[in-house]
Amino acid sequence: MMNRTIRIILAAILAAIVAFPILYAFSMSFFSIIDFTDSYAHFLPSTLSLRNYVLALSHRNFPRYIFNSVMTSTLLSVLRIMITIPAAFAFSHLEFKRRKMLLGVMISTLFIPSDALLYENYSTVAALGLLDTYAAIILPSIFSASSLLMLYGAFSSGSRYVYDAARIDGSGDIRYMAEILTPLSGPFITTILMQSFITSFNSYLWPLIVTSRDSMRTVQIGLAMLGFAEEGERGAEFAAVMIITIPFLVLLAAGRRTIMKALVNPKED
């Protein structure tokens, strides 16, 4: 009994710490200008009004930043799946010369952090004339060694009989991938899509470097460029923070178990 009380108290303290920044941001998203400039720091807004949310949503660029982020993250996730499935299929189902070597080369990129290649990749993208495009934002991260490794593992553990049977039925490899392999590996594909979307949505340095026009900025960069703080409208900045955070919180609340399973090990489905 004693133990139980202590455990709950400790968990509650830790939970309060972890939740504090989000709750505080939520509170600040309703702050009026005076709440920020008062002689002591407020916990709660002095009045309740949606003015900050109106300001954030009617900001010249903010909706565009969100649009760019959602577009690039979606494109990246879909393209990553589209190049990874055929590659993982070839490595796991087909025999060809230099198979081991090619797989090794591609997996070895796991050891190369792309942050350390910022400049070299920038010069590649610049040389291709792609600066300030969606292509520039997503191109270097479409290939992911960890996604390839995961699908390769999933495809390899599947039964060969299904593939052989499909071949005898005269179904081509492309059809086999689309109609049999992909549905069979659903959980893995969901995992990759989800991880890719989150990573891409959160990426900061790379999109910062390859974009310069306001209309091409993603929300991660745009958030710091809204200029609300300079106008004294700090509250609107936090309304913007909440606007991009709440959808993810809702998704998390709705699919906590699925997300946990997907992020840790999709195998157990």
Partner 1 sequence: MIKKKAEPYLLILPALVLALAFYIVPFLRSVIFSFLRITQGGELIGIAGLDNYRSLFADRAFLSSIWHTLLFVLLFIPVNTFLTLSAAALTRRKRKHGAIFEFIFFSPLAVSLSAYAAIFSEMFRGRVSIINRIFSLDMLWLESPESAMVALVALSVFLDFGLDYILLLSAFRTVDRSMIEAAEIDGCGSLSTLFHIELPAIRNMLLVTIFLALKDAVLISAPVMLLTEGGPYRSTETIMYYYYLEAFRSSNLQKGRAISSLMVVLSALIVTLMGRRRNDE
- Interacting residues with partner 1 between 3 and 32 (CB under 8 A): 3, 7, 10-12, 14-15, 18-19, 21-22, 24-25, 28
State which H helix or E strand residue 197 sits in: helix 186-202
- Of 66, 210, 236, 244, the residue at the interface with partner 1 (CB under 8 A) is 244
Q: With CB under 8 A as the contact rule, which of the stretches 35-43, 53-61, 129-137, 163-171 interacts with partner 1?
A: 35-43
| Residue 120: Cβ within 10 Å count | 11
> Should residue 44 be labelled a site residue for partner 1 when binding is judged by CB under 8 A?
no
Q: Determine, following the binding rule CB under 8 A, whether residue 67 of this chain makes contact with partner 1.
A: no
Part in contact with partner 1 (CB under 8 A); list of ranges 49-57, 162-170, 183-191, 238-246: 238-246
Nearest approach, Cβ of residue 155 and partner 1 (Å): 12
Q: Which of 45, 51, 158, 173 binds partner 1 (CB under 8 A)?
A: 173
Per the CB < 8 A criterion, the answer to whether 7 and 206 are in contact is no
* Rounded distance between C-alpha atoms, residue 131 and residue 139, angstroms: 11
Among positions 94-133, residues that touch partner 1 (CB under 8 A) are 94-96, 99, 102, 105-106, 108-122, 124
- Burial (CB < 10 A; 0-12, 13-18, 19+), residue 39, is exposed
CA angle at 253 for the pair 248 and 255, rounded to the nearest 5°: 90
Which positions from 200 through 219 interact with partner 1, judged by CB under 8 A? 201-202, 204-205, 209, 219
Give the residue from 61, 83, 63, 65 showing the smallest Cα distance to 196.
Answer: 83
Residue 56 interacts with partner 1 (CB under 8 A): yes or no: no
51: tokens are 């003015």
Residue 236 binding partner 1, by CB under 8 A: no
Minimum CB separation of residue 32 from partner 1 in Å reads 15
Judge contact between 191 and 68, C-beta under 8 A: no
Q: CA dist 92 to 65, 88, 109, 148, 156, Å? A: 40, 6, 19, 11, 5
DSSP at 60:
S
Pick the closer one to partner 1 by CB: 165 or 249.
Answer: 249
Is residue 254 a contact point for partner 1 (CB under 8 A)? no
Token pair of 147 as six digits: 């996604």
Q: How far is the CB of 170 from partner 1 (least distance, A)?
A: 15
* Site size for partner 1 (CB under 8 A): 85
Residue 247, token pair as written in the block: 């959808």
140 binds partner 1 (CB under 8 A): yes
Whole-number Å distance between alpha carbons of 82 and 78: 6
Q: Output 216 or 241, the one with its CB closest to partner 1.
A: 241
